[in-house]
Copies of this chain bind each other. A is one copy, B any other.
Amino acid sequence: MSLINIPLPSTAVIREVGLRDGLQSIQTILPSEHKRAWVQAAHAAGVREIEIGSFVPKRLLPQLADTAELVAYARTLPELFVSALVPNLRGAENAIASGVDLMIVPLSASHAHSLANLRKTPDEVVAEVARIRAARDAAGAKTLIEGGVGTAFGCTLQGEVEPDEVLRLMQALLDAGADRVSLADTVGYAGPAAVSRLFERAVAIAGEQFWCGHFHDTRGLGLANVYAAMQAGVTRFDACLGGIGGCPHAPGASGNVTTEDLAFMLESMGVGTGLDIGQLLSLRERLSDWLRGETLHGTLWRAGLPKTFHPHSSQAAQSAILA
């Protein structure tokens, strides 16, 4: 067996989701001022896609109550593609009104998880996506719709989730009018072999509409899973600065894949990310100050970049800073 010629992509996109998936899972409510500083510094470090918050009722997620305001700020930064999560039609209407570039509708492939968290069956979420698509089109808005299939590798309530069911729901989201689809290992159950198998099938089904891989590092396999997904043809990954987040039901559990570690892995393989890792590490230090008392994750920050490290994106990041 020779895999020496596995073609890795020349570039990949890291979508920073710390402001949404990270902050919604921790206790501290980060003031808007610090969120804006985070967005600004991330942009200066080369981040060009960001999930900035969630259009949910403020009483449910006070941590993300300033989402609309943050979208408005993020839109002032050049070339920044801004996403937000929307749980339903009402959230989507608010998202469209905010001028966000893309709205992510989460669907949980685990029926038990879906009922517990969204109070809808997965197929009811698909129907909601059809309504969101109709509303988007009626408004003449350009806001893209991403259907994100979560608990794609199992869930803490239901246990096993069948890959066939995951892919059926992904196809149903496309049929309902989602412009993009993604798969998420919401609870950190996936290993790289399962990722290879499922993502290959997903990419074969959705083609260019397959948008993003979303991995949690709950059990340490986040980066190995990204590598496996990349071999399956995926070139966009969600990540959180400092690996913040986790799960309210698993104290101390890690959150998403760590942005700076992922950027290092990709750049070390010659996969350009456009990110300046030194700047990301500096921003991580500021985040660590802002979130004193919260646990940050990741590994690169302890040892720093290797002496041999030649970033493939330094030029891009430099231009970004000067822009």
Contact = CB atoms under 8 A, between A and B. Distances in A.
Interface of A: 1-4, 6-8, 154-156, 159-160, 187-194, 196-197, 200-201, 217-221, 223-224, 226-228, 231-233, 247, 250-254, 258, 261, 264-265, 268-270, 298-300, 302-308
Contact of A254 (B187, B254, B264, B299): B299
A3 B6 contact: yes
B303 A3 contact: no
B233 A4 contact: no
A265 B3 contact: no
Contacts of A224: 223-224, 226-227, 265
A301 B306 CA distance: 28
A307 B2 CA distance: 35
Nearest to A219: B300
B269 A191 contact: yes
B192 A308 contact: no
A277 to B, nearest CB: 10
A241 to B, nearest CB: 14
Contact of A268 (B160, B194, B231, B258): B194
B268 A307 contact: no
Contacts of A159: 307-308
A160 to B, nearest CB: 5
A250 B304 CA distance: 9
A220 B3 contact: no
Contacts of A261: 219-221
Contacts of A217: 299
A21 to B, nearest CB: 16
A194 B201 CA distance: 27
